[in-house]
Structure 1
């Protein structure tokens, strides 16, 4: 607040980026900490005893200028088994889990955004930034914090996978992806018929060029049941 007052006293117009940073720090940050998330703008995280992560992050458009920017809220949950497989596939992971590595990923839009439209907040100055940050807190209170906390419970995440809804991805378009996700979580519970069924769905009817990858995935998952 002191820096914002100094800027106003000097008569200097804040850039859109500076206005957003201040609003996130003063409005969204306290709300995130109140919900048990830690971090600082533009990203806040929560973890559980199993090493699963929930992430909230504000993304700004690459086409932003000093006088105008657009931003949107991205939320994610990344279970530890999913992150372990990502590390196996990618070789390494960032020290802090980014939203992009979530298994469940969902975008939150400004109030009033029509369904199926990718609406973003527009920031041109301090007033816009504070209005947007306040609306972000409203969206998070309804469709952010409660869902993220719920999905940090493994059974709830399994139910979400079996319902065919992982936010950006739907099971109708990616059945093998959902089967892999289910297999990763089931493996933590040990060998089971459900796990065998999930692995069969995850690896059947794939292109010949993917068969080696599918076999490696199935072997890796089964190995985790004996840990």
Structure 2
């Protein structure tokens, strides 16, 4: 089994069921937890430099106030209706609009 196979297996067999048990919806590498006030997005991003021996990945967490996002979309119509954890939207200047957290890990040697 390659490191990438192990990474995908962990996402599929361990991470996905645990996230769904906590109320998140999604599959593969993107999950969401929505409420009336904000969007919470969780994404898993693989490194383009992964090899059979090593799989490096980043976990992205994005928290967005829905009202602030809607106002930002009025100013920037290219923004999608809902944000994604694995997409960088540039520097949004409104305090509290977007909180992004990243944590990197590696599987293998």
User: Scaled by the length of structure 2, what TM-score is found?
Assistant: 0.74
Superposition pairs of residues 79-94 of structure 1, within 5 angstroms? 79-94=65-80
Greater relative CO, 1 or 2 (CA 8 Å, sep 6+): 2
Q: Could you tell me which of 10, 34, 37 is aligned with 1:23? A: 10
Report which of the two has the higher share of strand.
2
1:60 offset after TM fit, Å?
1.9
Q: Could you tell me which of 95, 103, 107 is aligned with 2:98? A: 103
Distance 1:93 1:19 in 2: 34
The structure whose Rg is larger is: 1
User: Scaled by the length of structure 1, what TM-score is found?
Assistant: 0.39
1:65 offset after TM fit, Å?
2.3
On the 8 A contact 2:7/2:55 being kept in 1, the answer is no
On the 8 A contact 1:21/1:42 being kept in 2, the answer is no
Q: SS in structure 1 opposite 2:13? A: helix
Q: How many residues get paired?
A: 100
Report which of the two has the higher share of helix.
1
Q: CA RMSD in A?
A: 2.3
Runs (5+) with no aligned partner, structure 1: 1-13, 109-119, 129-227
Q: SS in structure 2 opposite 1:64? A: coil
Q: Could you tell me which of 45, 48, 52 is aligned with 1:62? A: 48
Residue of structure 1 equivalent to 2:92: none
Q: Could you tell me which of 14, 24, 38 is aligned with 2:25? A: 38
Residue of structure 2 equivalent to 1:10: none
Distance 2:62 2:28 in 1: 16
Distance 1:42 1:16 in 2: 16
